[in-house]
Amino acid sequence: MSDLSAFPITRKWPAQYPDRIQLYSLTTPNGVKASIMLEETGLPYEAHLVSFDSNDQLSPEFLSLNPNNKIPAILDPAGPGGKPLALFESGAILLYLAEKSGLLLPSDPAARYEAIQWLMFQMGGIGPMFGQVGFFHKFAGKDYEDKRPRDRYVNEARRLLAVLDQRLSGRQWVMGEEYGIADIAIFPWVRNLIGFYEAGALVSIADFPQVTRVLEAFLARPAVRRGLTIPARS
């Protein structure tokens, strides 16, 4: 049995199954990227809820694993060389789990880097921009009479959706016939934009039929449906 006692995070979130990957997360778009990936690969893991309501992400235990105080984060007791590995940043976690499992990332070097570029497209564009749309449309941004900040992000979100829609034309998934980490990175954010953020009409999501087509296929996957609910809220 693995000994994870050297990691302070396990004092706040004790590991019932210390031989499994420990996931510290919440069901946000970035959080479910990790849980969906774990469900898709079948890697054994144990999920722990990091509650923003109680500022768990600012606790010394969580900061010991991720000083950037963001979810998700993982602790793999059987990392490279058989040693425990702590990892944060959802994109890095997707890459690590793909390489650990040998799944959802092309083995051909050229295709591998093509998949990684679309992962970075989500990390650098879709995530930050869709998040700003959510802020200005659903949250505090509503209080601003000047709609230019909101419209700036709406226009950028539409531009990104157009890029994605064009990429998906004639393709089943981002990389073609093969589902992979690029889809797992991108579509939780698309779902959040038109669902939780209620911004579908604002960005005219109907203008992007390829995006909505693939989103529907993504949400139909059993592993995705499970991952969207993990970790469960008490």
Convert the pLDDT of each residue in 166-191 to its tens digit.
999 999 999 999 999 999 999 999 99
Tens of pLDDT, residues 108-157: 999 999 999 999 999 999 999 999 999 999 988 778 888 898 999 999 99
What is the percent of the chain with per-residue pLDDT over 90, rounded to a whole number? 93
Give residue for tokens 């079948």: 42
Q: What is the pLDDT of residue 211?
A: 98
Domains present along the chain, CATH in parentheses: 9-103 (3.40.30.10), 109-223 (1.20.1050.10)
Q: 167: which residues sit within 8 A by CB, 6+ positions away?
A: 118, 174
Q: Sign of torsion, CA 15 234 93 213?
A: positive
Rounded distance, CA 186 to CA 184, Å? 6
Asked, as a colleague might, if the bond just before 231 is cis with ω within 30 of 0, I would say: yes
Residue 234 above 80 pLDDT?
Answer: no
User: Percent of the chain beyond pLDDT 70?
Assistant: 99
Is residue 72 reached through a cis peptide bond, with omega within 30 degrees of 0 on the bond before it? Answer: yes
Q: How many angstroms separate the CA atoms of 174 and 42, rounded?
A: 22
Contact (Cβ atoms closer than 8 angstroms) between residue 18 and residue 77: yes
- CB count within 10 Å of CB 7 equals 18
Q: Are strands 45-49 and 73-76 parallel, antiparallel or unpaired?
A: unpaired
| Token digits of residue 193 | 């934009």
Side chain identity at residue 121, one-letter code: F
Rounded Cα distance, 100 and 38, in Å: 11
The DSSP string of 2-41 is: ---TTSTHHHHS--SSTTSEEEEE-SSHHHHHHHHHHHHH
Q: From CA 109, how far away is CA 215, in angstroms rounded?
A: 27
* Sign of CA pseudo-dihedral 203, 51, 231, 83: positive
- Give the model's confidence band at 78: pLDDT under 50 very low, under 70 low, under 90 confident, else very high: very high
Assign 233 a pLDDT band (cuts: 50, 70, 90): confident
pTM: 0.96
d(CA 229, CA 213): 22
For residue 147, the model assigns a pLDDT of: 87
pLDDT of residue 1: 59
3-state DSSP assignment of residue 184: helix
